[in-house]
Amino acid sequence: MKPVPKRVVVAGATGLIGRELVALLLQNGYSVTILSRSRQKVRALFGDKVDFQGWDGETIAGLVHAVAGCYAVINLSGANISKGLWTKSRKERILQSRISSTQALVNAVSHAKVKPSVFIQGSAIGYYPYQTGTPLTEQSPMGKGFLADVVHSWERAAKSVQSYGVRLVFIRTGAVLAPNGGMLKALASPVKFFAGAWFGKGNQQVSWIHIADHVRAVLFLLENGAASGPFNLVAEKSVAQKALVKSIAQRLKRPALMGIPASLTTLILGDMGRELLLCNQDVKPEKLVQHGFRFLFPEHKEAIFNLI
């Protein structure tokens, strides 16, 4: 008699990371329940390989039944921080989409008779100072700014799940390099049209991770019962933004010769320009390495060669 596969509930499964993570979970013998507003989108992406539970991202309607008895909840919900200018209303949307979804999931866990073993909470390296010349680890202090405040509130919304005996992991994600979206697509698209550029002087450090390593790290933390608290999901070696753009250009056989002045970037984009495009963070995956994780793509050039 075959053992019943462990069930994982995933919120935010239709996003860039979620799609790859669900595929990896299925490959490793897990059954997956996806929480989403759109059954049609879930079926288009995953067919009948997953179970679907309708969810509006805010209330606990349908959630208690979904999380009861599951092995793990993975929460990747939240509005895209780089999609659209950071207007006051957009900032509020970015924050509330994270807080509301997290609070609803934790509330559902509290009502479930059989609790999950682990809760993996989406997070970001935006927690740390966005302009610093020193390496940042999980022990580094919180920074100042919009993203730091968002991440702090996001993580705080999940902390009470520990009081129900559930292991809690925060995945503080860096810039994810993927073939079909995210930072790589944003940088590569202008390069293809001979308009490749970096922002400011380009010497600001980008803490990145290959999408394959990211989802492998999530699975690693899911299965490692000793892992709890924050983990930086970034490669061991950050890269200067200018060097990253030039590596993309080299792979695409295009020139990349321009730097967009920092003053123009902040004039047009304000906080978004300062905290995303001019951000200088050398983040280290200290805890991940200490727990024994090994990267498939430790160097940015290897990652770009694989993805493009």
Q: Kindly state the tokens that stand for 164.
A: 């129900």
Going by pLDDT thresholds of 50, 70 and 90, the confidence category of residue 1 is: low
Region 216-225: what's the mean pLDDT? Answer: 97
Residues 100 and 195: their CA atoms lie apart, in Å, by 39
| In the chain, % of residues over pLDDT 70 | 99
What pLDDT, on the 0 to 100 scale, is given for residue 181?
A: 84
| In the chain, % of residues over pLDDT 90 | 91
> Which tens digits make up the pLDDT trace of 80-138?
998 889 999 999 999 999 999 999 999 999 999 999 999 999 999 999 999 888 999 99
Asked whether residue 180 carries a pLDDT value surpassing 80, the answer given is yes
Q: Answer whether 174's CB lies under 8 Å from 288's CB.
A: no
Residues 236 and 297: their CA atoms lie apart, in Å, by 10
The sign one gets for the Cα dihedral 294, 285, 153, 166 is positive
Burial (Cβ within 10 Å: 0-12, 13-18, ≥19) of residue 253: exposed
Q: Which fold, 7-175+208-234?
A: Rossmann fold (3.40.50)
What pLDDT, on the 0 to 100 scale, is given for residue 84?
A: 85
Q: At what angle do helices 300-307 and 241-252 cross, to 10 degrees?
A: 40
Chain position carrying tokens 């995303």? 276
Q: Whole-prediction pTM value?
A: 0.95
Q: Answer whether 98's CB lies under 8 Å from 150's CB.
A: yes
Rg for the chain, CA atoms, rounded: 19
Cα 99 versus chain centre, distance: 15
> Which tens digits make up the pLDDT trace of 125-157?
999 999 888 999 999 999 999 999 999 999 999
Region 205-209: what's the mean pLDDT? Answer: 97
Mean pLDDT of the chain: 95
> Which tens digits make up the pLDDT trace of 256-306?
888 999 999 999 999 999 999 999 999 999 999 999 999 999 999 999 999
Residues 120 and 208: their CA atoms lie apart, in Å, by 20
What pLDDT, on the 0 to 100 scale, is given for residue 2?
A: 59
